[in-house]
Structure 1
Amino acid sequence: MTPVLKIAVVGPESTGKSTLSALLAAHYHTVWVPEYAREYCANLTEAPTIDDEVAMFYGQLKLEQEYLPRANKILICDTTFITVKIWSDAFFGHTPQVVLDELPRRPYDLYLLLDIDMPWQDDPLRDFPTRREHFMEIWHEELKALNANYVTISGLGEERGQAAIRAIDGFLKEKGAF
């Protein structure tokens, strides 16, 4: 059986991760894993705690495992638990050890880092409209620290989608996959 390739769609807030994940899943006739933290945080009545971050970490891992058997050779992941590290560091000044331990053990085959060239869309679950450049740099640092295979995706609308498809197709060709 051919292993499923995991493609992570990541980046700062309001960069179109969910929209692009759905588009890519449709294009490649597969499924996409939604961002667990979005639903989790929508149900909170207070600001997330460090324990909530750990719960979101485990929730994202569980969700990916649930979707994996339904994937058609590629699993598109709308964010990853690297987000837990980034938010934990931003809000609490540190990351839970369980997250740090698992980061190098759970790589994705390709990360698509979405650029901040899209206009900000207000959402009650988004926090940092004025710090997008800062978080873009953090994403670059985190992916480099993992020695991750990643491509920055820019552009608006269809242009962004086509750039992501080109990046994935190039990766698949390079890997000799499918």
Structure 2
Amino acid sequence: MCLIGAECTGKSTLAQQLAAQTGGQVVPELLRDWCVRHGRTPRRDEQAALMQAQIDAENQALALINQGQGAMLFCECGPLLTAVYSQFYFADNSLLAAAHLHHQSYAMTLWLQPDLPWVADGLQRDGLAVQAAVQHLLGQQLAMHTSVVRVSGVGAARLQAAMFALAHET
């Protein structure tokens, strides 16, 4: 299961809530930790390695799920988001094909809508204009996939919408 959306759409919070509700596991967005470790956002030449690290983390977690260590896997952003950021910030489309190929492995994608208050978060968040632009690009890319469900709402309503999607799409 992939939870994806532009910056500040509640991916981390919702992934943790869904895992708690279902007994599942969460693969966190590696970008956040990367930015903290390096004190900056990635350069163009670092995007592919970051995307591959996200894929590797998801594959490792999936292997554990397949060994019976958890019921569901919630991937907090998915490599497609890295590819879209690379497209937005660097006009680099080179990561899209690999990201789409990996994205096909998800049973479902929850596309989180930007209806939460925007909150500054250090290095990663650039504002409402960037959020809207990235969300638009992400929508264009997600149109190529099936089992994409829009999730909106605030607080308990957002969790309820996601749980409804899980119950009716899986």
TM-score (norm 1): 0.85
- Following TM superposition, by how much is the alpha carbon of 1:46 offset from its aligned partner in structure 2, in angstroms? 4.3
1:90 is aligned to 88
Is 1:22 the counterpart of 2:20? The answer is no
Code of the residue aligned with 2:115 in structure 1: it is: D
Q: Work out the CA distance in 1 between the residues paired with 2:40 and 2:77.
A: 23
- Following TM superposition, by how much is the alpha carbon of 1:155 offset from its aligned partner in structure 2, in angstroms? 0.5
Q: 1:102 aligns with which of 84, 98, 109?
A: 98
Q: Is the 8 A contact 2:118 2:127 kept in 1?
A: no
Unpaired runs of 5+ residues, structure 2, are none
**Where do residues 110-129 of structure 1 align in structure 2 (5 Å cutoff)?**
110-124=108-122, 125-129=124-128
Per-residue CA deviations over 1:97-149 (Å, capped at 9, x if unaligned) read xx33323322111110111110001101212333333222212111013x232
Q: Is the 8 A contact 2:24 2:72 kept in 1?
A: yes
1:3 is aligned to none
Other structure's SS at 1:127 match? coil
Other structure's SS at 1:131 match? helix
1:176 is aligned to none
**Where do residues 37-52 of structure 1 align in structure 2 (5 Å cutoff)?**
37-52=31-46
Code of the residue aligned with 1:39 in structure 2: it is: D
Percent identity between matched residues is 28
**Where do residues 4-83 of structure 1 align in structure 2 (5 Å cutoff)?**
7-71=1-65, 72-83=70-81
Q: Work out the CA distance in 2 between the residues paired with 1:141 and 1:120.
A: 22
1:175 is aligned to none
Structure 1 runs of 4+ with >3 Å offset: none
Q: Work out the CA distance in 1 between the residues paired with 2:41 and 2:12.
A: 23
Code of the residue aligned with 2:43 in structure 1: it is: T
The alignment of Structure 1 onto Structure 2 pairs a total of residues equal to 163
Q: Is the 8 A contact 2:151 2:162 kept in 1?
A: yes
Q: Is the 8 A contact 1:15 1:118 kept in 2?
A: yes
- Following TM superposition, by how much is the alpha carbon of 1:38 offset from its aligned partner in structure 2, in angstroms? 1.1
* Alignment CA distance shift 1:47-1:24 (3 Å): closer
**Where do residues 161-176 of structure 1 align in structure 2 (5 Å cutoff)?**
161-172=159-170
* Alignment CA distance shift 1:131-1:91 (3 Å): closer
Q: Is the 8 A contact 1:30 1:75 kept in 2?
A: yes
- Following TM superposition, by how much is the alpha carbon of 1:79 offset from its aligned partner in structure 2, in angstroms? 0.6
